[in-house]
Chains A and B, each alone.
Chain A
Amino acid sequence: GNSVTQMEGPVTLSEEAFLTINCTYTATGYPSLFWYVQYPGEGLQLLLKATKADDKGSNKGFEATYRKETTSFHLEKGSVQVSDSAVYFCALSNFGNEKLTFGTGTRLTIIP
């Protein structure tokens, strides 16, 4: 079956540092890949997605590239801000954005 493995947290970085959160997956077929973010007290929100190999999803300065050869979808941001502190979930689905298979989530804390 499908599975997602993501970097265990928590991750603590200083403001303006470079961020990478690793995500690898196992799946049948050609799934869509997602990164969701959950800010404190809020529901998960779609951050970015990619639907086919070599696609790059981007939003709010975050990027992730769908790498079929390495079955990875690592999340990156060049310069993080305190407001990026949240829990980040990598996910995949063979059914659009439904029936998502999630990773464990990575808690990110940015200190000023």
Chain B
Amino acid sequence: GAVVSQHPSWVICKSGTSVKIECRSLDFQATTMFWYRQFPKQSLMLMATSNEGSKATYEQGVEKDKFLINHASLTLSTLTVTSAHPEDSSFYICSATEAEGNEKLFFGSGTQLSVL
């Protein structure tokens, strides 16, 4: 079946640095990608929706200048956490679909970010 590859699986960084997380669709063209995060013992929450070639749409409460999303190709979306702080430590996960409204939605395996 379709696979979404997400890297890295885990990352530790110093406070104030930026971290980039990649999400690739391996055998299909991902027109739409979604980014989620999950804080410890909380729900997986949608952060933003990105369509290839367009600016991402962020959910309420998510800072677009802090969480930069680039979806410049049909197989790659990146999430950059800029000037990361300990409160950004979380589990980040992407998902991808061939088109909005398409039944088939595929998830990456997630990235555990720890900011020291």
Residues of B within 8 A of A73 (CB): none
Are the CB atoms of A44 and B103 closer together than 8 Å?
no
Q: A44-B107, A46-B105, A96-B101 are in contact. Are A101 and B49 (CB under 8 A)?
A: no
The answer on a CB contact under 8 Å between B107 and A43 is yes
Q: Which of B14-22, B38-46, B69-77, B78-86 contacts A (4 or more CB under 8 A)?
A: B38-46
Q: A41-B109, A43-B6, A46-B105 are in contact. Are A104 and B41 (CB under 8 A)?
A: yes
Contact check, A96 vs B106: say whether CB atoms are below 8 A apart: no
Pick 21 A–B contacts, CB within 8 A, sort by A. A3-B43, A38-B107, A41-B109, A43-B4, A43-B6, A43-B95, A43-B107, A43-B108, A44-B95, A45-B107, A97-B97, A97-B103, A98-B34, A98-B49, A99-B49, A100-B34, A100-B44, A100-B46, A102-B38, A104-B42, A105-B38
Besides the known contacts A43-B110, A97-B97, A104-B41, 15 further A-B residue pairs in the complex with CB atoms under 8 A apart: A4-B43, A8-B41, A36-B107, A42-B109, A43-B3, A43-B6, A43-B95, A43-B108, A45-B107, A46-B105, A97-B105, A98-B97, A98-B105, A101-B43, A102-B44
